[in-house]
Amino acid sequence: MKTEPSISTLHEGNFLRLQQVGRWEYVERTKANGVVAILAVTDEGNVILIEQYRPPLGKMIVEIPAGLSGDHAGAEGEPLIEAARRELLEETGYHAAKMEFLFEGPSSAGLTTETVTFFLARELVHIGPALGDGSEQIVQHEIPICEVEDWLAKRFLDGRAVDCKIYTALFLVRYQIGL
């Protein structure tokens, strides 16, 4: 382990900060205490997937529900598990009575400080339509967990963008939970 040179800020944005350490550039979030991603499985054995428009990529992306923790004024210390419940409800309309930690790891360790904390949501109750946060347009899919690989492969071959983290979460629940 080398001694770390000092970190300098190249640009302070409203949500992201571009940093430099030595010659290495990377980005960090300024208004969140974490990122959560939720693999939600209904009592019928369906995985909930969403598609939403993502401005960086300029198109719809197939994902599991996910979002920032502690990014709302007055809730800066929001626990990750509470953020997972909130994001699942906002993006899908489902409340999860059971929310289990699966794993936490970096999403792109060369590019960003971001780590993603994965949860498995079960004992779901559909409370109402997905509300979003006012800016999100979301299409929801419920796919039997035994068919989800084929469903995703077909979407991918049809030219849809599929988020890497779906497969991270699916591997973890197969391995840790046996679903």
Task: Give the integer Cα–Cα distance in Å for 4 and 23.
Answer: 12
Task: Give the integer Cα–Cα distance in Å for 25 and 7.
Answer: 10
Which residue among 34, 84, 119, 165 contacts a second copy (CB under 8 A)? 165
Task: Give the integer Cα–Cα distance in Å for 100 and 95.
Answer: 13
Which residue among 33, 82, 100, 103 contacts a second copy (CB under 8 A)? 103
Which residue among 63, 78, 87, 91 contacts a second copy (CB under 8 A)? 63
Query: What type of residue sits at position 127?
Result: I
Least distance (Å) between residue 27 CB and a second copy: 4
Least distance (Å) between residue 38 CB and a second copy: 14
161 lies in the binding site for a second copy (CB under 8 A): yes
Least distance (Å) between residue 93 CB and a second copy: 21
119 lies in the binding site for a second copy (CB under 8 A): no
The answer for residues whose C-beta is within 8 angstroms of residue 157's C-beta and 6 or more apart is none
Segment holding 82, helix H or strand E: helix 80-92
Which two three-digit tokens encode residue 81?
């598990």
Which residue among 8, 97, 115, 133 contacts a second copy (CB under 8 A)? 115
Task: Give the integer Cα–Cα distance in Å for 102 and 9.
Answer: 33
Report the Cα–Cα distance between both ends of the chain, in Å, rounded.
39
Chain-centroid distance of CA 15 in Å reads 17
8 lies in the binding site for a second copy (CB under 8 A): no
Which residue among 74, 114, 132, 179 contacts a second copy (CB under 8 A)? 114
Nearer to a second copy by C-beta: 95 or 141? 141
Nearer to a second copy by C-beta: 5 or 127? 5
Task: Give the integer Cα–Cα distance in Å for 31 and 107.
Answer: 18
Which residue among 44, 55, 74, 134 contacts a second copy (CB under 8 A)? 55
By CB under 8 A, which span of 6-14, 76-84, 93-101, 124-132 interacts with a second copy?
A: 6-14
168 lies in the binding site for a second copy (CB under 8 A): yes
